[in-house]
């Protein structure tokens, strides 16, 4: 790695934007609290554990910390099943711990964003406990309740009100014998969907959000927010041949009142509160619809998480055969750069708590350092707000699963059960889970080479990746050529060069689909990025307008150990950045 900091101006990119658009030059770091750092030795990460590592995050240079859910929860889906929106789950600590954490974060000049999960609650939330108590309870209509399908007895196969399949396998309906009706759960049975058609539900959610903002929270990441509006009547979907359950997404993804609800949320919660941070998770959203969310004139959210690129190369579904082709990732990222160039804003991510590790998914573990840094280069130098998932800055990889008993995630265990019950080969099912299962991202952060990677003095809730003696923070912090130091360099580039945060994006054809090359332009300033996203040697063929301008560019960053010419042959996973 080589980084020429002398090319950076002393001013900051944040000054290029209006104060209420500070997030356009920011870098976000996602913390999955139960796997980040354990301060009390019970095997689960906690808020005090996060506090003890804030110096590490400050040294990395990130601006915003996004916490995955820390609310009180039965933990059926690791906190995405909330039983009390206004309390901290004891596994993470107390409200006093949270107050200390947010004070420390702000004192270090960083911001803190909470995960907002309001498509559904836990079935142990007081709202749902009331709702299920009787058909005429005032909160009955806070959730979706339906009678069994006509001609069927409740609780028997086929009696579900609609034929939709759940994200976590099986039907989306759970029978409640106490009232003789079914309730809707797009995810786990313990995650009943809130009925956003009911204005009382919306006002209760908005009140809760205002409560957190009053406590100093700087914004929200909104979980599956594009699912909150359902098509009235919840009609049956179309089953594919050989399938018992249908894809109901046409009736709950981007439903008819979605944007009305998001604009109402903006008015009720965010208006008049200054420059807050809002990002919506939107599975299934297409590029042509993306500006509807993040066009500032519409007053909905700052940006969205789209899923096109993380779904590449999966023609048989998430856990099926994988066929990622050369250039697919670059093509997808290019589409979204060009599609949101004039309206809206991109969230830039390759990994999070629901996705496998970046190096294992899009890189090559045989070229661990080079692929980790090349992928970081192309992501962080695009237009948009980049996100780092905990451990990504260390190049953490997918872990090792011997059998289904090693998996903790409800999505994986449910899928294995249903698939093998339907006759799928267990080893082939496991192969898909090992590659794409969410537990890959949820193994503890690898702090050092001591027992359990320094994550806990107890027994970790999920096994540490066995490569922790080699890949860990202690080995990398202070090492000028580590993955960690490379991420620091990318963050410094973004913080000091407005051309990265706001420059125009232009794809460069470098003669090979495996090479992702692009130019960023802002006024007279230009940045050129060339990265070989493959495990073979390639020689770029640059267009004349670029090659003729080479003398005007100076190299500013590379993951090689020597400076190389812009058009020189590229080793596997080589990345080069030039500035003019």
**Which 8-state DSSP code applies to residue 463?**
P
Q: What are phi and psi of 433, to 5 degrees?
A: -65, -40
Given the structure tokens 């913080």, which residue do they identify? 495
User: Which structure tokens are listed for 485?
Assistant: 């130091």
Q: What are phi and psi of 163, to 5 degrees?
A: -100, 20
Q: What are phi and psi of 340, to 5 degrees?
A: -110, 25
Mark whether 104 is an active-site residue. no
Query: Would you give the distance in Å from CA 541 to the centre of its chain?
Result: 34
How far apart CA 45 and CA 34 sit, in angstroms, is 4
517 bridge partner residues:
508, 530
364, 365, 369, 371: CA torsion to nearest 10:
10
20, 22, 23, 27: CA torsion to nearest 10:
-170
Residues 6+ apart with CB under 8 A from 199: none
Catalytic residue among 281, 392, 393, 514: 281
Tell me how far apart the 2 most distant CA atoms of the chain are, in Å. 78
Given the structure tokens 């020429």, which residue do they identify? 4
In contact, 445 and 35? CB cutoff 8 Å = yes
193 bridge partner residues:
120
Given the structure tokens 């080079």, which residue do they identify? 370
Q: What does DSSP say about strands 64-67 and 111-116: parallel, antiparallel, or unpaired?
A: parallel
Mark whether 63 is an active-site residue. no
Catalytic residue among 46, 189, 223, 264: 223
Neighbours of 580 (CB within 10 A): 17
Reading phi first (left if > 0) and then psi (alpha if -120 to 50, else beta), residue 327 is in left
532 bridge partner residues:
515
How far apart CA 226 and CA 204 sit, in angstroms, is 19
576 bridge partner residues:
530, 558
Given the structure tokens 């709202």, which residue do they identify? 127
User: Which structure tokens are listed for 524?
Assistant: 């007279």
Reading phi first (left if > 0) and then psi (alpha if -120 to 50, else beta), residue 183 is in beta
**Which 8-state DSSP code applies to residue 245?**
S
Q: What is the DSSP string of 527-558?
A: EEEEEE-SSS-B-----HHHHTTGGG-EEEEE
User: Which structure tokens are listed for 127?
Assistant: 């709202």
Q: What are phi and psi of 265, to 5 degrees?
A: -60, -45
How far apart CA 306 and CA 280 sit, in angstroms, is 9
In contact, 527 and 578? CB cutoff 8 Å = yes
In contact, 393 and 375? CB cutoff 8 Å = no
In contact, 355 and 441? CB cutoff 8 Å = yes
User: Which structure tokens are listed for 260?
Assistant: 């009305």
User: Which structure tokens are listed for 180?
Assistant: 């003789």
Please give the positions annotated as active site: 223, 281
């Amino acid at each position: 790695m080589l980084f020429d900091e002398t090319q950076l101006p002393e001013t900051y990119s944040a000054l290029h934007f209006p104060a209420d658009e500070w997030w356009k030059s920011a870098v976000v770091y996602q913390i999955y609290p139960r796997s980040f750092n354990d301060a009390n030795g019970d095997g689960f990460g906690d808020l005090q554990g996060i506090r003890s590592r804030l110096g590490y995050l400050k040294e990395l240079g990130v601006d915003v910390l996004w916490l995955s859910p820390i609310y009180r929860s039965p933990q059926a889906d690791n906190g995405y099943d909330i039983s009390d929106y206004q309390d901290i789950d004891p596994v993470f600590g107390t409200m006093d711990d949270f107050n200390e954490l947010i004070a420390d974060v702000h004192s270090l000049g960083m911001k803190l964003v909470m995960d907002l999960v309001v498509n559904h609650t836990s079935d142990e939330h007081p709202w749902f406990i009331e709702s299920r108590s009787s058909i005429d309870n005032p909160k009955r209509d806070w959730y979706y309740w339906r009678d069994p399908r006509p001609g069927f007895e409740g609780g028997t196969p086929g009696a579900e009100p609609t034929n939709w399949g759940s994200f976590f396998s099986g039907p989306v309906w759970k029978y409640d014998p106490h009232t003789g009706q079914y309730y809707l759960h797009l995810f786990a049975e313990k995650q009943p969907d809130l009925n956003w058609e009911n204005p009382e539900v919306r006002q209760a959610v908005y009140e809760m959000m205002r409560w957190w903002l009053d406590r100093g929270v700087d914004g929200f990441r909104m979980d599956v927010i594009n699912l909150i509006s359902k098509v009235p009547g919840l009609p049956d979907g179309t089953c594919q041949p050989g399938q018992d359950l249908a894809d109901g997404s046409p009736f709950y993804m981007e439903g008819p009142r979605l944007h009305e609800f998001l604009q109402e949320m903006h008015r009720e919660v965010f208006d008049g509160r200054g420059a807050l941070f809002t990002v919506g998770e939107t599975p299934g959203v297409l590029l042509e619809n993306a500006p509807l969310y993040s066009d500032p004139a519409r007053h909905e959210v700052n940006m969205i998480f789209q899923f096109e690129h993380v779904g590449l190369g999966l023609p048989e579904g998430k856990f099926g055969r994988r066929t990622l082709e050369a250039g697919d990732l670059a093509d997808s990222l290019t589409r979204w750069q060009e599609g949101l160039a004039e309206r809206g804003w991109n969230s830039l991510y390759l990994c999070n708590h629901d996705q496998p590790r970046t190096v294992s998914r899009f890189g090559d573990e045989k070229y661990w350092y080079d692929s980790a840094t090349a992928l970081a280069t192309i992501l962080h130098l695009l237009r948009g707000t980049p996100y780092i998932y905990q451990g990504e800055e260390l190049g953490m990889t997918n872990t090792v699963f011997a059998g289904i008993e090693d998996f903790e995630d409800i999505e994986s265990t449910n899928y294995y059960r249903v698939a093998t019950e339907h006759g799928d080969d267990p080893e082939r099912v496991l192969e898909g889970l090992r590659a794409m299962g969410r537990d890959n991202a949820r193994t503890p952060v690898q702090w050092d080479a001591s027992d359990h990677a320094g994550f806990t003095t107890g027994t970790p809730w999920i096994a540490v990746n066995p490569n922790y003696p080699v890949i860990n923070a202690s080995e990398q912090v202070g090492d000028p050529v580590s993955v960690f130091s490379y991420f620091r360099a990318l963050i410094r580039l973004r913080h000091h060069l407005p051309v990265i945060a706001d420059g125009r994006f232009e794809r460069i054809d470098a003669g090979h689909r495996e090479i992702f090359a692009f130019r960023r332009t802002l006024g007279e300033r230009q940045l050129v990025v060339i990265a070989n996203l493959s495990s073979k040697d390639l020689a770029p063929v640059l267009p004349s307008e670029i090659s003729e301008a080479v003398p005007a560019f100076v190299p500013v960053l590379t993951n090689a150990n020597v400076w190389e010419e812009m058009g020189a042959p590229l080793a596997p996973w080589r990345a080069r950045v030039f500035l003019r």
